[in-house]
Structure 1
């Protein structure tokens, strides 16, 4: 992925390249509690939000005065927040899904490298992403950030470091205060609702100039780097591409970007949604993940041999994606709505094929030079928790490389014709996650049990809702 452009530095800046940056000028992150206190004072920060993603990727945490934050205050959350569904319900216990008997506290440990301002707040406010540990100081193995860290540790033990670049699609929609009514695209600056079929349209982006300016402004204030922004095929569907880098840092950025985009949209009286399929008959929203792996010692892309040809690791990584991603799909497509996106002829792969520059395959190898050879996983939907989506995709590639899984031949033609080669619904995907024995070594048994239990609980909640389809076709006909 090194072929992507990097910011240029001036001559003066390059001479000072070895000088550590002044933490007081940092927009994102400090290295010590002393620097944190100075950073907060310099900006007149009054409150700080200590947040961490739950299983759905929703920010959970506590707000406190900045003076208390820097006074060695102990922060804690109940373990039950990692066992409730997206609707706030708590599923029944099963053999593999259990509640912690005392619902004891988990401790929040601020990652000071993520400290930044909250630019949409009227009072000076900062935010910091926290890791989660148990009362005895051990890492909690089932929290999303720790699940991803566990996968990265497996790479590190082999002398490897993954590099990723997410692409996040989302829709802008008119405000909707009644969930019984379908969503509609909002009106742009022209006063008219934008239509579909606006892929890469500059005019489509310009319809929402002021909102996009706020997205850029909010992002810049937080030290978040947008690579490009485009209009996608759906009406008022946009895509943000992030610069490639470390998986934890990029998952953090997606986590913060979702919040940032929602806040920017709300400021302009509309919603931003990361639902996989918010509007019937329109394209779904994906979170494509570009992936490569470098050698920790040399920094070289291990997907390429010294002569520039594709390496054995490259093909085994693809083989692992093909073999294991279908069983990990519930971490990439986590809701009932996610599987409405995974349908044929809707600009979305429904297979486990791979190919060179072939967007109909699940795993696409973009055109690049040898240093930037990478694999794009096109299956994840934008509703996925970014930490878990990255963990799942990278774990499947790791299994492929360590177990020598050979891929099929690359697909030359359209791969989306014929049958669907993936789980067709949420419960099938959950069963496949539980049934893959190699996943225990990469995700841990406790995480799999908790995640599967929450997903089954969400399905049962969904089954309590009577849909318009049922009222239309069953009411008077059966």
Structure 2
């Protein structure tokens, strides 16, 4: 392959050679393939193998998308023994090769192609790829950004054996205060965040605003708005960067949706708009005080599908704990303007930069799947010229609207399994595989007796 020739993933040999020239001391490169849970799985290769990855790809079994969150195979996906368990070919994704300073190794996202030479259907990234291609055929360029909320957790548990927020790095103090949007809170953890920003620069990751969120040890990092596929790539790379950096500071980064029952949950808000071929925002207000009809149709399409897609937005048992307090974690299908209690929020600000924010997904959700079902529903709404209905102007939970949503994780699994929308947008293989993995995970946890059950019932009933 010539330096200027690109592989199926859009990466050229020149990219690999430039990385090797810029980092002569780097000996290892992590290959990250994102599974249905959003977990990076793959291999670490040596320096001399990098050019081969860019010219020939690298074999990885397609059954990686049949694994539950622990890495165990789920045979009901139909992927475990397909092709007698042979490898598919993974290729690097252009623009994602960079240095992960926390590890001292390179890092590159890879994507899978099947034996037929087509993008491997069960891979979440390829579900998003298909919806972006659909949008482009309609004359749209999807744009977006994802926000990451997370907790920093102490390595040592408290006296009762429970996890607790990390101590401040500068003073070593413990805190139980919310300290929401405290600048001093950020200063206390500044060595860690300085390292995260340095890592983001090395990875060409457009990481921007940092805030302390609404709980002790909880933070949010935003990523710059750009093409929707790159925005989803940014989210998965950003999570890995935060995790790897936290370990080097004696902490753990936690991306559970609700790690502490009485504290704020962690969301992953998706901001979305559509541009034309010249980059003009098609969701911009056509005149002062008037919202784009195209954007309202997109919102209408999404409102009609949130119930079917709750398993994507809240994929784990823990995800559903986040909705116990629904003021800032809306488990509904409402929309409104500059209203943080609704599911689909149209932010204020510059009318030329108008977009909407999907606020239901937890940070534990897979960014590619969240983006795929959101874009797919928006395009459906535009095709059908869907009416979003009236916006909510007060607190959504007090508006009297009763959404048609699943009431829990099992019902969400069943609704997803029966959804023609999810089957069409994600494709048959992705739809079947994700449902099978989640049902197996549900059954595993249904047989797990928790410590809380022992405390409440063990010697009382």
When the two structures are superposed, what TM-score results if normalisation uses the length of structure 1?
0.88
Q: Confirm whether residue 43 of structure 1 aligns to residue 26 of structure 2.
A: no
Which residue is 1:353 aligned to? Answer: 334
Whether the 8 Å contact between 2:308 and 2:421 is mirrored in structure 1 is: no
Which residue is 2:198 aligned to? Answer: 217
Kindly tell me: are residues 349 and 305 of structure 1, through their superposed partners in 2, closer, same or farther at Cα, counting changes over 3 Å? closer
Partner deviation per Cα, 1:9-54 (whole Å, 9 max, x = no partner):
xxxxxxxxxxxxxx9xxxxx99621342243133213222222101
Q: Confirm whether residue 301 of structure 1 aligns to residue 284 of structure 2.
A: no
Q: What's the offset of the Cα at 1:200?
A: 0.8
Q: Confirm whether residue 33 of structure 1 aligns to residue 13 of structure 2.
A: yes
CA distance in 2, matches of 1:332, 1:358: 20
Select 2:127's aligned residue among 125, 136, 147. Answer: 147
Kindly tell me: are residues 40 and 260 of structure 1, through their superposed partners in 2, closer, same or farther at Cα, counting changes over 3 Å? same
Select 2:37's aligned residue among 53, 56, 64. Answer: 56
Structure 1: tracts of 5 or more residues without a match: 1-22, 24-28
CA distance in 2, matches of 1:133, 1:30: 13
Q: Confirm whether residue 233 of structure 1 aligns to residue 214 of structure 2.
A: yes
Q: Confirm whether residue 158 of structure 1 aligns to residue 141 of structure 2.
A: no
Whether the 8 Å contact between 1:98 and 1:450 is mirrored in structure 2 is: no
Specify the SS of the correspondent of 2:281.
Answer: coil
Kindly tell me: are residues 111 and 97 of structure 1, through their superposed partners in 2, closer, same or farther at Cα, counting changes over 3 Å? closer
Specify the SS of the correspondent of 1:102.
Answer: helix
Select 1:244's aligned residue among 216, 225, 238. Answer: 225
Which residue is 1:439 aligned to? Answer: 422
Which residue is 1:85 aligned to? Answer: 68
CA distance in 2, matches of 1:241, 1:74: 32
Which residue is 1:403 aligned to? Answer: 384
Kindly tell me: are residues 350 and 196 of structure 1, through their superposed partners in 2, closer, same or farther at Cα, counting changes over 3 Å? farther
Whether the 8 Å contact between 2:19 and 2:97 is mirrored in structure 1 is: no
CA distance in 1, matches of 2:57, 2:388: 49
Select 1:334's aligned residue among 291, 294, 315. Answer: 315
Which residue is 1:18 aligned to? Answer: none
Q: Confirm whether residue 372 of structure 1 aligns to residue 353 of structure 2.
A: yes
CA distance in 2, matches of 1:195, 1:420: 35
Select 1:138's aligned residue among 107, 118, 121. Answer: 118
CA distance in 1, matches of 2:136, 2:63: 31
Specify the SS of the correspondent of 2:198.
Answer: helix
Kindly tell me: are residues 153 and 30 of structure 1, through their superposed partners in 2, closer, same or farther at Cα, counting changes over 3 Å? closer
Kindly tell me: are residues 412 and 107 of structure 1, through their superposed partners in 2, closer, same or farther at Cα, counting changes over 3 Å? same
Which residue is 2:243 aligned to? Answer: 262
Q: Confirm whether residue 169 of structure 1 aligns to residue 149 of structure 2.
A: yes
Select 2:293's aligned residue among 312, 316, 322. Answer: 312
Q: What's the offset of the Cα at 1:446?
A: 1.4
Q: What's the offset of the Cα at 1:350?
A: 2.1
Whether the 8 Å contact between 1:350 and 1:421 is mirrored in structure 2 is: no
Q: Confirm whether residue 271 of structure 1 aligns to residue 248 of structure 2.
A: no
Q: Confirm whether residue 393 of structure 1 aligns to residue 400 of structure 2.
A: no
CA distance in 2, matches of 1:322, 1:341: 20
CA distance in 2, matches of 1:36, 1:91: 35
Q: Confirm whether residue 117 of structure 1 aligns to residue 114 of structure 2.
A: no
Partner deviation per Cα, 1:83-104 (whole Å, 9 max, x = no partner):
010022223527x887525122
Q: What's the offset of the Cα at 1:332?
A: 1.5
CA distance in 1, matches of 2:18, 2:65: 34
Whether the 8 Å contact between 1:283 and 1:346 is mirrored in structure 2 is: no
